[in-house]
Amino acid sequence: MEEWKKSSCTLCAQNCGLEMMVEDNRIKKVRGDKDNPRSQGYCCRKGLSIAHAIHNADRIHYPMKKLGDHHERISWEQAIKEISEKMLAIREQHGSKAFAYMGGGSSGGQMEVGVGLRLLNLLGSRYYYSPLAQEFSNVYWVDGRIAGKQGLITLPDPHRADTIVAWGWNGWMSHQEPRTRELIKEIKANPNRRLIVVDPRLSETAERADIHLALRPGTDTMLLKAMIQIILNNRWEDRAFIQEHVNGWDELEPLFEDFDAKRAVEEVCALDYALVIEATRLIAQTKSCIHQDLGIYMNRNSTINNYMLHILRSITGRFCVEGGQMYPAFLFPMGGDSDERNPKTWRTVKHNMFPIMGVFPPAILPDEILNDHPDHIRALIVSSCNPLRSYPDTLAYEKAFEALELSVCLEINYSETARLSDYILPCRSYMEMYDTTCFNFSYPELFFQMRQPVLVPLSDESKENAAIMLELIKAMGFLPELPGYLYEAGKKGITSYLGAMGAFINENPQHLKIVPLIMAETLGYALGSVNQALIVGLLVGSSKAFKVGAAAMGYPTDQTMVETIFNDILAHPQGLMLAKFQGDNFNMLRTEDKKIALKIEELLEPLKAATINSELESLTMPAKYPMILHSGLHHETVANTNMRNPEWNKSRRWATMLVNEADAVRLGLTDGEKARIVTKASSAEIEVEISPRAAAGCVYIRHGGGLIYDGKKYGVNVNELVKSTDRDEMCTPMHRRIYCRVEKL
Ligand SMILES: Nc1nc2c(c(=O)[nH]1)N[C@H]1C(S)=C(S)[C@@H](COP(=O)(O)OP(=O)(O)OC[C@H]3O[C@@H](n4cnc5c(=O)[nH]c(N)nc54)[C@H](O)[C@@H]3O)O[C@H]1N2
Ligand SMILES: Nc1nc2c(c(=O)[nH]1)N[C@H]1C(S)=C(S)[C@@H](COP(=O)(O)OP(=O)(O)OC[C@H]3O[C@@H](n4cnc5c(=O)[nH]c(N)nc54)[C@H](O)[C@@H]3O)O[C@H]1N2
Ligand code: SF4
Ligand SMILES: [Mo]
């Protein structure tokens, strides 16, 4: 019988609602779920193809151990025993700093972090790495300074804006906003709304823009400085807003006053000055919002560019307001506060790098493994990410994995990372378990969806990632023996469980710190899911703003609150609005006076130092590598490294390198022939695709190539062409500006 089950897509951070028709425990058909209050039926071709990510020939069904050049099946008992013993031995011999955990950044499910981080901390380490720190470090750092504390992030609110600026963001292909294509179509159809695209090339989004600022690659700093100067020059700044909501502008203003905007725009950015003035007017004088993305995040000057984007928003009154840049409502913050000015904040031993929102950057992990310092990383747990394809410098990562004394990979597939790991532990896929992500961005209402399993686990031996990490914690003796009544209490309901837990902690206050683990163990047992128990834990520990917001939605505020909300979550597999945040968005700031702290001391000098002349000089291309490789377009034929089976793109051309027509003529290349691309890191041969989507002087390779499926490798792995040194001061990779040369074969 046909049965449609509700779930969500796990292939990008939008997590669009999906309905799946399941037959014989296989996903047969997929459609957008109209009942999902945020995505409202929207989904893209990736979501429609999600069955390939779940049902594929590379699924892992049991624990495996590396023996020589291959892996062999072992039992769970052996796996947990050997790994935990090895970990304790490494800690005994080398101390806590030998451990790192990399995970929790997946766009599908993140409850694992609740246990993964505690496992790391129980071992005494804070070296938590996640993909968040290979794109967002700069903006999260700036967000932290401006808000007075790290942990909350800001986001654009384009659905309620009239002018939307896509700055280094190709939304038509990458989404990154709810219902992106619908949004772009709505703007096109409405003469009062406009789309401005700042992108060197004619991207699919730029093609649909009212104004396309096709700037010379890497010149965003000069464009931003020019726009701020143009605003001042025309007195377009919002003085009343600045007065009421912004601190520090007085000291910043002089940095822009004498800037030669016209010369910067024409000589550095190679743009039409009148067009830039018009775009700036729309940003300043209409209900505007700016969505910046990888064109900014993974590019030169990312820190000051993100800073100037916030300055632009602040002085035009577009910060903490509807349709501008906002703090989303939250059940739990995106991360912790790991301010590097605090001497207690851990740093890495090789690069002395600090975490941002508690997260260390994957670009430097190979270096942190491959060094002689007594405290270098020796043991790594990787979960739900694929560093051997996703993070820069695959060749360095390969060496690093070889040097590790212990590598453990929690996966659903025989990924490139799994292939090099000492142990592979089989996870349930996101369609086989309960989970959620922290990408429930909305304001003032808080959207929440706990995905429910649509399939019976494909293997009896697979487990939730969090459950696996809990097994390791127990095997290492980090969890005390717990009374039977705690295991049983959850069967009588959450309120009854929380009562029992309260009594237990009263008698055993020494265990207060590990309450979430005790819940994972005992409530997880009663509910049959560690992840569900962790979600209950989040509700228990939720912020005051959330609790007030939940009360505003009609939830009880007494001891039955958690159970009532949790039951409602269970009853809404399509997701629901859980809380309505009260007061205005400025309330979310962590500054004492609830004003935007616009002056960032450390960035004043770099801002001053970025002049027209200094920029012209540093934009000069190295003679040996006269072109720019855009390493990793997030194109509609890519789903990061989640779709290993190339079948889903079978009628499409995707394993190519985009080249501009003039460059192709100059290099003597024809469409379809193979060319060689050479970078400092390596070289590769790849099919040329002459494309109007490529800017002159740039070539583009799609992200997610070089995956091995069923023993065969498809496409070029672009991270082999990137060196870990191609990174900025926050250790984010410079994937949008890898110097290269292209040769005819
Ligand atoms: N279909 C699909 N969608 C995805 C993903 C996927 O794999 N496939 N992955 C998801 C993930 S994890 C992410 S982070 C997002 C990324 O989403 P995007 O950031 O939209 O992805 P990119 O393809 O890198 O697009 C960045 C744009 O920046 C432009 N750019 C390059 N250099 C410069 C420059 O110097 N200045 C400016 N202003 N722009 C420049 C590029 O031409 C490009 O059009 O996509 C998400 N969505
Ligand atoms: N050169 C270059 N590199 C890039 C980029 C680029 O633009 N250029 N983009 C970067 C960006 S923005 C991002 S976000 C990263 C993403 O890179 P990663 O953080 O590695 O994320 P994914 O590629 O999504 O990897 C997901 C892994 O999790 C596994 N997985 C899928 N579902 C499940 C599950 O249910 N359980 C478990 N345990 N595992 C599962 C998949 O098999 C896969 O191996 O890539 C980055 N890499
Ligand atoms: S936009 Fe993202 S979440 Fe939505 S269907 Fe496409 S890949 Fe999935
Ligand atoms: Mo990403």
CA 35 to chain centre: 26
CA atoms of 159 and 178, how far apart (whole Å):
9
* Structure tokens, 645: 């089976």
Residues in contact with 24: Cβ distance below 8 Å, sequence separation at least 6, in sequence order? none
| Percent above pLDDT 90 for the chain | 98
pLDDT tens per residue across span 464-513: 999 999 999 999 999 999 999 999 999 999 999 999 999 999 999 999 99
26 contact partners, CB below 8 Å, separation of at least 6: 51, 55, 455
Query: Which pLDDT score, from 0 to 100, does residue 3 have?
Result: 79
> 216-256, pLDDT tens digit by residue?
999 999 999 999 999 999 999 999 999 999 999 999 999 99
Domain annotation for the chain: domains and CATH numbers? 3-54 (3.30.200.210), 155-326+595-609 (3.40.228.10), 482-585 (no CATH), 621-744 (2.40.40.20)
Q: What is the DSSP letter of 596?
A: E
Task: Name 714's bridge partners.
Answer: 707
Q: Residue length, the chain?
A: 745
Mutation to probe ligand 3, out of 9, 42, 182, 184 (largest number of atoms < 8 A from CB): 9
Q: Are 23 and 30 in contact (CB under 8 A)?
A: no
What is residue 331's DSSP assignment? S
Tokens (6 digits) for 336: 């912790």
The pLDDT tens digits of the residues spanning 76-89 come to 999 999 999 999 99
In ligand 2, the atom with minimum distance to the C-alpha of 387 is 20
Q: Which two tokens stand for residue 692?
A: 């109007």
Q: Please determine, for residue 1, whether its predicted confidence score (pLDDT) is greater than 70.
A: no
- What would the pLDDT profile of 186-216 be if each residue is shown by its tens digit? 999 999 999 999 999 999 999 999 999 999 9
Three-state DSSP at 85 gives helix
* Residue 338 phi, psi (nearest 5): -125, 50
> Where are the extended beta strands (E) located within 545-644?
576-580, 596-597, 627-633
Chain segment 12-22, per-residue pLDDT in tens:
999 999 999 99
Q: Considering the chain, what is the average pLDDT of its residues?
A: 97
DSSP code at position 641: B
The answer to whether residue 333 scores a pLDDT higher than 90 is no
Model confidence at 532, pLDDT cuts 50, 70, 90, reads very high
Q: How far is the CA of 175 from the centre of ligand 1 (A)?
A: 9
Mutate to test the pocket of ligand 2, among 385, 458, 635, 724 (most ligand atoms within 8 A of CB): 385
Which amino acid makes up residue 652?
R
Q: Cβ < 6 Å from ligand 2: which residues?
A: 105-106, 108, 131, 134-135, 294, 383-386, 390, 410-413, 415, 427, 429-430, 465, 631-632, 640-642, 703, 718-719, 722, 735
The encoded tokens of residue 594 equal 């609830």
Tokens coding 107: 């766009």
> Which ranges of 553-704 does DSSP label H, i.e. alpha helix?
561-571, 601-609, 612-618, 661-667
% of the chain with per-residue pLDDT over 70 = 100
Q: How many CB atoms lie within 10 A of CB 690?
A: 18
686-696 average pLDDT score: 98
Average pLDDT over every residue of 584-601: 97
Residue closest to 135 by CA, chosen among 157, 168, 113? 168
For residue range 164-189, what is the model confidence (pLDDT) as tens digits? 999 999 999 999 999 999 999 999 99
Distance (Å) of CA 365 to CA 128, 369, 407, 720: 10, 6, 13, 16
pLDDT at 447 over 80: yes
> What is the pLDDT averaged over residues 270-275?
98
pLDDT higher than threshold 80 for residue 545: yes
CB of 288 within 8 A of CB of 282? yes
Tokens of 293: 């993305």
CA 134 to ligand 1 centroid distance, Å: 13
Alpha carbon distance 283, 274 (integer Å): 14
Q: What distance in angstroms lies between residue 18's CA and the mean position of ligand 3's atoms? A: 9
| Nearest CA, atom 19, ligand 2 | 385
pTM value is 0.98
Q: Report whether pLDDT(594) > 70.
A: yes
pLDDT (tens digit per residue) in 20-31: 999 999 999 999
The reported pLDDT for the residue numbered 440 is 86
**Residue 267 pLDDT > 70:** yes
Ramachandran category for residue 301: left, alpha or beta (phi over 0 → left; psi -120 to 50 → alpha): left
Q: Which atom of ligand 3 is nearest to the CA of 8?
A: 3
What is the whole-number distance in angstroms between the Cα of residue 47 and the centre of ligand 3? 5
219 alpha carbon – ligand 1 mean position (Å)? 17
Question: Would you say 454 and 51 are in contact if contact means Cβ atoms under 8 Å apart?
Answer: no
Name the residue of 132, 384, 430, 679 to mutate for ligand 2: max ligand atoms within 8 A of Cβ. 384
